[in-house]
Amino acid sequence: MKRTLISAAAALALVAAAPYAFAQAPKQGGAAVITFNNDLTTLDPHVGYDWQNWSVIKSIFDGLMDYKPGTTELEPDLAESYTVSDDGLTYTFTLRDGLKFHNGRNVTSADVKYSLERVINPATQSPGGGYFGMIKGYDDVAGGKATELAGIATPDDRTVVLTLTRPDATFLHLMAINFSYVVPKEEVEKSGADWGKQPVGTGAFKFIEWVPGQHIALERNQDYFRKGVPYLDKITFEFGQDPTVAVLRLKKGEVDIVGDGIPPAQFAEVMQDPANKDLIAVGEQLHTGYVTMNVTKPPFDNPKVRQAVNMAINKDRVVRLINNRGVPATQALPPAMPGYNPDNKGYAYDPEGAKKLLAEAGASTISTEIYAMNVDPNPRIAQAIQQDLAAVGITAEIRSLAQAEVIAAGGVGNAPMIWSGGMAWIADFPDPANFYYGILGCAGAVEGGWNWSKYCNKDLDARAEKADALVKADQTPARIAEWKAIFDDVLKDAPWAPIFNEKRFTYHSARLGGDPSLFTDPIHIPVNYDYIYAKDVQ
């Protein structure tokens, strides 16, 4: 009887915590080993900005908001509730009661204030500080003129009031990305330069140790505010692991997840092995691979040439080239993103039509360059594109360079065309705005910016800002519809040729359980460690 009661209570807690219903709640316990090729650079949530540390940080820290596991749906996290003023300029968050950092101290509204000020302060050198430009007082802190944000008030320990200078519908998403995660001031100051190596958060897992070049170990946070999760007692991330060797180790049962994914050379073999049938989770991610065309310089200053490029590229062939690890892209937004327009089929593969357009543009022979990152499969993809372009009379020389050099060439505006693979935009948060301002809007079309097409359409920028001013929940459909229209218009102007949307394939051991969506979580990339469980303790 007692046993039933306990499991019933656990199941209830679980239903409250997790949106998808398990037939029975997984039991807590067990451990998992995840491998990565590269060492993590840092676990400072305000600094870490690569897909490896992104989700580890998510397991150690929390923000005011978060997403339901395996989905892109927002929900309050450290905040118990929030209200938005009618003009959309004031957000009032109420923190949950009894929140604790891993060091045992209670979380207060002052910690939220400190954390936001820290990420914006230029001394932190955060790659995400620029996201918070709508908070009142941002310019003073970012400009080094103040250390306190005018737009944050903390009337009591559990209340945070944020004042914005403009209504912004993405604001709640910004309260859910790593850059706004809450950190304890005393630990940051005590650790100094080593803070990123000894993180203390509020999250589902507690940091134990970091042996440089070897592993990071996390253990279950017994005081985590969501009862019943996480399921695993311990997670070890092992570094310096060649993915090819990691696959062998997984087959031997030494490893539970190959964090880097299945190496391209072994992909077909791993996929075809019947033993792996239930071990590979396939999911969509918020990713588009695209070719940028610099609209400020001939020949790509002519929209017809850019449309012709869109029609000349055989996207299906490129997808086959990557072992069908994606789907051909029709537009800039990936299918999993709100605002994606399923009715917009984009530019169909039509070399004859492309030739016609080029002739109309008076540019029947074009000689140009396409930049690509020099890591497989990107040079091969660039070659495929090169061949397709040659078939319509465009000679594109491939410039295969290191990632940083391609980014630099794109930022300066030297590159006529860039294949985005290996550097591409995986959304930081699931909102169409995140796919616009930095990479398609005027804000990114400056020197050093990430809008490599240098496409700056003031009209669309104005429409985008107007759409983002629709902050009310009942305005969301109108806002998304407007974004859909904006991206349709971007596609007509064709600063990019969208090529494919990558799918994610996560290879995990038989002892790990959990919904496949957790292993390809669109937010916790690559895996939502908080909700996967060990079958050997069930």
Residues that bind another protein (CB under 8 A): 37-39, 41-42, 44, 47, 49, 122-123, 125-131, 133, 142-144, 193-194, 196-197, 211-214, 238-242, 244-245, 248-249, 251-252, 254, 402-405, 407-409, 411, 425, 438-439, 443-444, 446-448, 450
From CA 173, how far away is CA 67, in angstroms rounded?
9
Interior CA angle at 469 toward 467 and 472, to 5°? 100
CA 174 from centre of chain: 12
| Element (DSSP H or E) covering residue 323 | none
Residue closer to another protein by CB (options 327, 408) is 408
Minimum Å distance from CB 249 to another protein?
Answer: 5
Report the nearest approach of another protein to the CB of residue 448 (Å). 5
Q: Which of 283, 285, 281 is nearest to 513 (CA)?
A: 281
Smallest CA-to-CA distance from 290 within 385, 387, 408, 420 is with 420
Give min distance, CB of 101 to another protein, in A.
Answer: 21
| Minimum distance, C-beta of residue 37 to another protein, in the bound complex (Å) | 8
The minimum distance between CB 147 and another protein, in angstroms, equals: 14
Which strand (E) or helix (H) includes residue 90? strand 90-95
In this structure, are residues 231 and 536 in contact, taking their beta carbons and an 8 Å threshold?
no
CB nearer to another protein: pick between 247 and 460: 247
Least separation in angstroms between residue 128's CB and another protein is 6
Nearer to another protein, 328 or 422 (CB): 422
In angstroms, what is the minimal distance from the CB of 95 to another protein?
26
Cα separation, 439 vs 428, in Å, equals 13
Share in percent of the chain as helix, strand, coil (round to 5): 35, 20, 45
- Burial classification of residue 353, based on how many CB atoms lie within 10 Å of its CB (0-12 exposed, 13-18 middle, 19 or more buried): middle
Instruction: Decide whether 127 or 328 has the Cβ nearer to another protein.
Output: 127
Residue 318 CB contacts under 8 Å (≥ 6 apart), including other chains: 328, 381, 384, 385, 499, 500
CB of 133 to another protein, least distance (A): 8
Specify the length of the chain in residues.
538
Cβ closest to another protein, residue 311 vs residue 337: 337
Identify which of residues 106 and 214 has a Cβ nearer to another protein in the complex: 214
Other Cβ atoms less than 10 A from the Cβ of 402: the count is 11
Q: Compare residues 174 and 392 and give the one whose CB is closer to another protein.
A: 174
Q: Which is nearer to another protein, 263 or 326 (CB)?
A: 263
